[in-house]
Amino acid sequence: MYPEYMVAPIREDLTSAGFEQLMTAEEVEQAIKAGGTVLLAVNSVCGCAASKARPAVKMAVAASDKKPTKLVTVFAGMEQDAVAKAREFMLPYPPSSPSIALFKDGELVHMVERYHIEGNDLNRVVDNLQGAFEAYC
């Protein structure tokens, strides 16, 4: 767990862009099972979250004609139950922070793992997400 004062600005990076911060396992389950398309960003304090994951999800959503119905986020290393529940929905993919998942009607339809983020150019991550929005939203 990190001190809240350290993560508050990192949380705000996504919440100020329209993402809802999910704090409990129940909130995660309700958001994903609510229907429609749900983009879930697993946020993190790491450098690739700051330089690629958060900018990519914000850019992809802002620039896409087709968008997820709901934008949500959980914070790795903080709300452990919420993150654990999110990762249950992301199976069979292993835990990865940061990561980005797209759900449609409660089912995982697209997954961007850390190695897709860390090992890629920002624009490729954006293109990856926009392609998923086009296919599923």
Q: Which residues are catalytic?
A: 46, 48
What is the C-alpha to C-alpha distance for residues 105 and 69, in angstroms, rounded to an integer? 10
Q: What is the sign of the dihedral through the CA atoms of 80, 126, 47 and 9?
A: negative
Decide: 98 and 114 in contact? Cβ < 8 Å. yes
What is the C-alpha to C-alpha distance for residues 56 and 51, in angstroms, rounded to an integer? 9
